[in-house]
Structure 1
């Protein structure tokens, strides 16, 4: 298993805020900063980024949500103060970064041993490596995954790998394996330096669970991070326009505000943001509040993004409708991201009411695949929304994150980096 990404840590006394190390933060730490998420286009270093939420409860039950909407609370009655949340988030990240260093160094040495072993026969299993070097299979799998991501090995099945002959075409001694590892994966020095730099938190994403703007002091929380020189990305479902106005009036807008646009029309919106099982419906009132948020969005002085989470057979319809709503919001950027089958997202088939409640993970995962668009499908849908990128010019794509980024009112397509918190 990954070192930290499955570990959720509640923040504060009332536990409405929480922290979870992002997959890409861990990837960046273990590769010495070489791997990073799409936010790198904005100048964000994944190793110095906190993934968090200010409010785990949510007023919607989106069918594609990767969180446990079936069990999570709908509201919290008491709240921690913003300073406590900010300090605990920073403290928690730093503690895990410290813990990560030795794990990443150990992982590098395991990867090095794998390269030497696999180069002898060109193919080896996880169990064989585990037996030969006396390390658990889970640690071997993690090292294999890094070698796979570095294009040094190819996967035959979940337990067997072979060398990439274009890079490794002979038996390697330890020094040769070290040189290849340092070229394609990372160096021990890079790992150490990246962990050192990661102690200086530069960015906080307030996004990963719930609806952050339900936290009544979200404006002051943004201010707490800004006074520490930390940039913020805030993601909202758009149903609390009054909180956005509050942030505007108090001068505490985030560095970049994301508004999730679930659908191009009311009918699709209700389908996408309501769960049939368990029965948690949204309403036209939510849709009307999103329209109000779009009106506000067009007037905000901060950087803004409209995010469309694309789900096949659910909301990848009516591209002209999306185009109209994006133009209404007039954000700096338009982002399309693909539905990801992670966490509780495989329950989508049940939430849509297309299946009786199923609790077998393998069955859920298999059925959920039909809703996950390929990168090419997302790119084509982005092209349709943007009229072949004539209305919203293409800025960048990220196949690993299944993401397409386009410009709306942003002018400099070659530089979208953030200059200040």
Structure 2
């Protein structure tokens, strides 16, 4: 990584470990500590916003150049030596503690919440880059789980062989499906590999076999990929996810150099689009969060709280429960 790029990331409040791993405070963590406003992941899944570690093990590595991505693009560097999982996790937690240290003296910050924030209980493996490129991802999740931490993984789906090889899965895995067809995919995701769409399709076909909670996320940009809910629903049928998150693009970070604010759909537009997908798939609108422009689709009666489900020993996915029942018949 060249020094100019490193300094750019540091000015953007990234803290970088070994050139390939990084942590950055989520804006919602700040809102949670200072204003008691929580992110949609807390409202949907029960994780605690102020105890979430937003990180990436592959900061500079990605197979896409999505215009809606918040990261600095076009600065990929070859990683010569990857950090071991425990070492990386310890370092990123230490960096996060430094990043939040200034909140301790702010009178708006509850002292109890601050102390809790110093010990994260949730890892969001999603900050930037494509995390499945990190070669020790399975061992990383195992390390997180050994500390009692819940884990979310967000992937663009172009590394199905890496997902299939995971011995330890995250508690929840998202795949971003940001196009209803191959032509739109080329425009919306700008893949750097020739077979990106085919690889994504392989990931969707793999999803039903994963013994963890699965989520398909549709990141929707007005005038780019917010179209054809029927085709999105056809792809969702292939993945057979536990949950679906249609989410409107937000005009932040590096995307502001590539898109305009007009790309942000109105929340009512996202709600209408989500309802059409839900009707096609026989799903329900379970929850919604207007300030994040996101809707959660699934089936009534699901235990959405990830930690509660884990602690109760419930199947990681209702689909796994159905599969077990089918095998016993």
TM-score, length-scaled by structure 2: 0.86
- Answer yes or no: is the 8 Å Cα contact 1:5–1:21 preserved in 2: no
Q: Is the 8 A contact 1:5 1:23 kept in 2?
A: no
C-alpha displacement of 1:193: 1.4
Q: Secondary structure at the match of 1:386?
A: helix
Aligned equivalent of 1:266: 182
Listed one character per residue, the Cα deviations across residues 46-86 of structure 1 (whole Å, up to 9, x for unaligned) are 1110111110111111121111113x215423211111111
- Residues 197 and 94 from structure 1, CA distance in 2 versus in 1: closer, same or farther, beyond 3 angstroms? same
Whole-Å Cα distance in 1 between the matches of residues 72 and 144 of structure 2?
28
Asked if the contact 2:284–2:300 (Cα under 8 Å) also holds between the matched residues in 1, the reply is no
- Aligned pair 1:377/2:266, yes or no? no
- Cα separation, 2, equivalents of 1:65 and 1:213: 17
Change (3 A) 1:411 1:296: farther
In structure 1, how many angstroms separate the alpha carbons of the residues matched to 2:98 and 2:192? 40
Equivalent pairs counted in the alignment come to: 298
Q: Structure 1 stretches (4+) deviating beyond 6 angstroms?
A: none
CA distance in structure 2 between the partners assigned to 1:330 and 1:74 by the alignment = 35
Distance of 1:84 and 1:411 partners within structure 2: 41
1: CA distance, partners of 2:77 / 2:221: 24
Rounded to whole Å, the distance in 1 between the matches of 2:62 and 2:202 is: 19
2:324 — aligned with what?
none
Instruction: Tell me how far apart the structure 1 counterparts of residues 239 and 102 of structure 2 sit (CA, whole Å).
Output: 43
Q: Quote the Cα distance in structure 1 between the aligned partners of 2:305 and 2:244.
A: 15
| Equivalent residue number for residue 339 of structure 1 | 249
The whole-number CA distance in structure 1 between the counterparts of 2:208 and 2:148 is 26
The aligned counterpart of 1:78 is 81
SS of 1:316 mapped into structure 2: coil
Q: What is the deviation of 1:213?
A: 0.4
Residue 24 to residue 417, structure 1, CA distance change in 2 (3 Å): same
SS across alignment from 1:298: helix
Quick check: 1:270–1:282 contact (8 Å CA) kept in 2? no
Q: Which residue of 2 aligns with 1:7?
A: 13
The equivalent position to 2:161 in structure 1, one of 242, 245, 251, is 242
Contact 2:33 2:113 (C-alpha < 8 Å) held by counterparts: yes
* 2:47 maps to 1:44: yes
- Counterpart of 1:334 in 2: which secondary structure? strand
Tell me if the contact between 2:29 and 2:38 (Cα under 8 Å) persists in the aligned partners: yes
Residues 127-185 of structure 1: CA deviation (Å, up to 9, x unaligned): xxxxxxxxxxxxxxxxxxxxxxxxxxxxxxxxxxxxxxxxxxxxxxxxxxxxxxxxxxx
Asked if the contact 2:63/2:192 (under 8 Å) is kept, the reply is no
8 Å CA contact 2:53–2:123 kept in 1: the answer is: yes
1:65 aligns with 2:86: no
CA contact (8 A) 2:286 2:300 kept: no
Q: Unaligned 5+ residue runs, structure 1?
A: 109-187, 275-279, 350-367
CA offset digits 1:378-413 (Å, max 9, x no partner): 11111222227x622101110111111101xx5525
Separation in 2 of the partners of 1:271 and 1:282?
Answer: 13
Q: Which residue of 2 aligns with 1:393?
A: 284
Separation of aligned partners in 2, 1:381 and 1:5: 37
SS of residue matched to 1:24: helix
Counterparts of 1:100 and 1:21 in 2: how far apart (Å)? 12
Contact 1:67 1:345 (8 Å CA) reproduced? yes
Map of 1:55 onto structure 2: 58
- Counterpart of 1:27 in structure 2 is 31
CA RMSD of aligned residues (A): 1.9
Residues in 1 aligned to 2:182 and 2:290: alpha-carbon distance in whole angstroms: 30
1:400-411, aligned counterparts within 5 Å? 400-407=291-298, 410-411=299-300
The C-alpha deviation readout for 1:251-306, integer Å capped at 9, x for no partner, is: x10010000002111111111111xxxxx7553x1111111111111111101100
Question: Quick one: which of 14, 20, 23 aligns to 1:16?
Answer: 20
The corresponding residue for 2:117 is 198
Contact 1:295 1:328 in 2 (8 A): yes
Match of 2:325 in 1: none
Cα distance in 2 between the residues matched to 1:236 and 1:308:
12
Structure 1 segment 161-200 matched on structure 2, within 5 A: 191-200=110-119
| TM norm structure 1 | 0.68
